[in-house]
Amino acid sequence: MPGWLGPWEIAIVVGIILLAFGGKLIPRIGSSLGRSLVGLKKGVKEGEEGFKSAIKEDVKVDAATENASDQPATAADKKEEPR
């Protein structure tokens, strides 16, 4: 908290907000904000899970291509294309 913002300043700001929005609107704003944060956390978690699964799939594909390159080349692989 900034050093210039004391308890009296906070009380004045809260009082002005109560006067401007009224006592009934503030709980609705708070619950709406809470639902938004829950949705944001859920989206971040889903994105993280999707990212982790994509990384795992990428590792599996890389491992499969490395295993395929370790196998001896076939006659079809040895043919060179004409230039």
Q: How far apart are the first and last CA of the chain?
A: 72
Q: What is the CA 55 to chain-centroid distance, rounded?
A: 15
Phi, psi of 24 (to 5 degrees): -85, -30
Look at residue 62 in the predicted model and tell me its pLDDT.
72
Its sign, for the CA torsion 2, 6, 11, 17, is negative
d(CA 14, CA 5): 13
DSSP state of 71: S
Look at residue 26 in the predicted model and tell me its pLDDT.
81
For tokens 């043919």, the residue is: 79
41-61: pLDDT as tens digits: 999 999 999 988 888 887 777
